[in-house]
Amino acid sequence: KQKHTRPTFSGHQIFALEKTFEQTKYLAGPERARLAFALGMSESQVKVWFQNRRTKWRKKHAAEMASAKKRQEERADMFEGSSMPEED
55 alpha-carbon distance from chain centroid: 6
pLDDT at 88 over 60: no
pLDDT at 83 over 80: no
Average pLDDT, the chain: 88
- The C-alpha atoms of residue 88 and residue 71 are separated, in whole angstroms, by 33
Domain boundaries, the chain: 11-81
- The C-alpha atoms of residue 38 and residue 13 are separated, in whole angstroms, by 9
pLDDT at 10 over 80: yes
Please give the CATH topology (third level) of the domain spanning 11-81.
Arc Repressor Mutant, subunit A (1.10.10)
pLDDT at 86 over 80: no
